[in-house]
Chains A and B, each alone.
Chain A
Amino acid sequence: MTEISYDFPQEAPRTNRLRRILRDYGHELLVALAILVLLLVVGAINPRFVSARNMTSVFSGNAYIAVAAIGMTMVIVTRQIDLSVGALIGVLATISGTIAVSGAPIWVAWAAPVVCGALINAVTGVLVAYAGIPSIVVSLGMMAILQGGLISVTGGAWISDLPPEFLLAKMTVLGFPMPLVWALVLTIAAAAWMKLAPFGRSLYLVGGNAEAARAVGIPVRRRIVQVFMIHGAFAGLATLLFATQLQVIQSTTPPNLELLIITASVIGGVSILGGTGTVIGSSLAAVLFAAIGSALIFVNVSAYWLRAFIGVLILLTVLADVIRRHREVAKGA
């Protein structure tokens, strides 16, 4: 049913653009504001914090979290979760590094993690969507398989002697570090896709009310598999930024990396109850806690307190979400 008639009077939009942005992106603006305040306050205490050099190193070192959080945000929007992404990034890094040192063309080494990420996550997606096992459990099992599998295959050995042209994270575009450019471009592209493409919108439908989504003709199960695959591809892209920062690739990833990525999504405003949130928020949140981590050092607070700050941040964000929902429901009654 594609033909739509437009024979009714065109009315002026009732809500002006500014108010619409405030309402649709209120949470994102709040996170951005928090970043701004942090930069200003800590910059005033210690100007070296806001130096171009520090900013660049902080943000490009953490850009991979923002990229991985894009995919995670999509997964959470459809009311699923993936605990295996940290282990997946480890596996993809090794795959990519192995190809890079094997002498194959560099583009193969770059494409492989993206493709493999999508394929590996397709398994997770199928088990979730078609076998009906909750995603938290499937991804827990996948995490064990990937983590254990990686170390038993590599024996814990590092990959060194990476060809310099493989090291994407060290390259620059017009003077900007590559990871920063990627995080920015991917965030904008993904945000536009989730706002403007019917496919992107359908993720919100699936997460908001799966039964209703089925009733309006969305193939819910297939969509869940697809979103896991897209998430895997983003994990692959994140891997490229993560694994090419140094000359070597280790067969371990930072502990609790998956929780850090999920945290970025949650602080960015994705509701774990599904159906809301944007990737702009999650990327801003990744920036926020990269900035907090660095700021602690510059104001002479031990970086060991970083996690406590993040914990409080998560709780406050979720509390705000819960209160907002209560208020909306109260308003509707």
Chain B
Amino acid sequence: MLKRHSHEVVLAGLTALAIVVLSLQSEQFLTLANLLNQGRLMTEVALVALVMTFVIASGGIDLSVGSIMGLSAILLGTFWQKMGIPLPLAMVLTLGVGTLCGLFNGFIIVRFGMPPLIATLGTLALYRGLAEGISQARSVRGWPEWFQQLGQGAWAGLPVQVWILLAALLISGAILGYTRWGRTVYAIGASETAARFAGLSVGRTKMTIYAVSGLASSLAGMIFVARVSTTRSDMGTGLELDVITAVVLGGTSIFGGKGTIVGTALGLILVQVLENGLLLAGVKGDGTIVLIGMVLIGTLLVSAFTENRARA
């Protein structure tokens, strides 16, 4: 147990250490209100990161998530305000388009065998370009109260989006860890050929993963709009890098075949704790980015060395 999940254990220890140290530095840090607010802020990255764990564990990568997020934000505003579609329907449509964007990623990767890194680099530019072109730098405001609740309200003491996040966490954790489909994802990441020879449906699984990644990005985009009450075409710029950082920090191998939802959750929490705690402790936000970069490289160095030792 300890041996197989050593990365998660190290990460949990590191997170606990950070929480203890930071709560000594600032009294505001370890308060319920602050922690709930942090949960609210991390939801968008976290939703995408949970699905990205599947993407990376299957040996792929999706750089287009930030662009799908931006495109979804713009489309939601366009559907609702410009085209006069009722907001609930506009939301469904937006999620549909987000899923289609992801499906297109999966399609060009599976059907044409494009390397995921480059395929999604292309769609990163494409989807962002569509967002910019459609919005023409105009933003949409004046969202109804019930919609803003999605990003700003609370339900039973917890921010609304934290409920969504918790549900997503449980579902993705169960799927990756305990189902046939999750096992298939690992097998594809570890050896696509062997997975195919074992009779697993490789193509369909990969398409599904990328489609869900698009769906999650789209949902994150909507929550973002609800939280800040406006739309901008540059929403989610750089999201892909935050997400990949959290996932890789969580122990998912960039080569695929390895990674857990618990690890990703810990990675997300560690990043958020550092960002918020250091800010409250008076460190400027940019110093925190440096620390996150160092933690990322440091943890990978440690696991590279321990793995080498285990192999020798």
Write the residues of chain A forming the contact surface with B, with a CB cutoff of 8 angstroms: 81, 83, 127, 131-134, 136-138, 140-152, 155, 255-256, 259, 262-263, 266, 272-273, 302, 304-312, 314-315, 318-319, 322-323, 326
Contacts and interface: CB of A to CB of B under 8 A. Distances in A.
Contacts of A302: 133, 136
B239 to A, nearest CB: 11
B292 interface: yes
B57 to A, nearest CB: 15
Contact of B125 (A140, A143, A314, A318): A314
Contact of B126 (A83, A134, A140, A312): A312
B121 A310 contact: no
19 contacts: A137-B248, A137-B296, A141-B245, A144-B290, A145-B289, A148-B287, A155-B284, A256-B237, A272-B115, A273-B115, A302-B133, A304-B129, A304-B137, A304-B233, A305-B132, A308-B125, A308-B126, A318-B114, A322-B113
Nearest to A260: B125
A140 B244 contact: yes
B254 A143 contact: no
Interface in B108-149: 108, 112-115, 117-119, 121-130, 132-133, 135-137
Nearest to A311: B126
Contact of B248 (A140, A145, A146, A319): A140
A272 B126 contact: no
Contacts of B119: 315, 318
Contact of A259 (B121, B248, B290): B121
Nearest to B301: A131
Nearest to B284: A152
B245 A140 contact: yes
Nearest to B288: A148
A229 B290 CA distance: 21
B300 interface: yes
A327 to B, nearest CB: 13
A125 to B, nearest CB: 13
A155 to B, nearest CB: 8
Q: Which of A136, A307, A309, A322 is the most central at the interface, judged by chain B CB atoms within 10 Å of its CB?
A: A307
A148 B113 contact: no
A83 B129 contact: no
Nearest to B300: A133
B277 to A, nearest CB: 15
A147 B289 contact: yes
Q: Which of B135, B234, B254 is the most central at the interface, judged by chain A CB atoms within 10 Å of its CB?
A: B254
A213 to B, nearest CB: 20
Contact of B245 (A144, A149, A152): A144
B255 interface: yes
Given A137-B254, A152-B284, A314 B121 contact: yes
Contacts of B123: 311, 315
B290 A148 contact: yes
B238 to A, nearest CB: 7
A145 B301 contact: no
A140 B63 CA distance: 13
B92 interface: no
B51 to A, nearest CB: 18
Q: In the A-B complex, list the 4 residue pairs whose CB atoms are closest, starting with the nearest.
A: A308-B129, A311-B126, A148-B289, A144-B293
Q: Give the size category of B's interface with A.
A: 35 or more
Nearest to B117: A272
Contacts of B127: 311
Contacts of B248: 137, 140
A315 B126 contact: yes
A290 to B, nearest CB: 15
B129 A148 contact: no
A132 B253 CA distance: 12
Contacts of B255: 134
B118 A318 contact: yes
Nearest to A133: B300
A83 to B, nearest CB: 7
A143 B288 contact: no
Contacts of B130: 308
Contact of A266 (B118, B234, B241, B305): B118
B226 to A, nearest CB: 24
A308 B118 CA distance: 15
A261 B259 CA distance: 30
B294 interface: yes
A151 B248 CA distance: 25
B158 interface: no
B293 A319 contact: no
A111 B312 CA distance: 44
A163 B204 CA distance: 60
B297 interface: yes
A314 B129 contact: no
A304 B133 contact: yes
B166 interface: no
Contact of A310 (B114, B125, B137, B285): B125
A311 B296 contact: no
B33 interface: no
Contacts of A326: 113
A319 B111 CA distance: 11
B296 A140 contact: yes
B129 A311 contact: yes
A137 B237 contact: no
A83 B286 contact: no
Q: Which of B119, B133, B287 is the most central at the interface, judged by chain A CB atoms within 10 Å of its CB?
A: B133
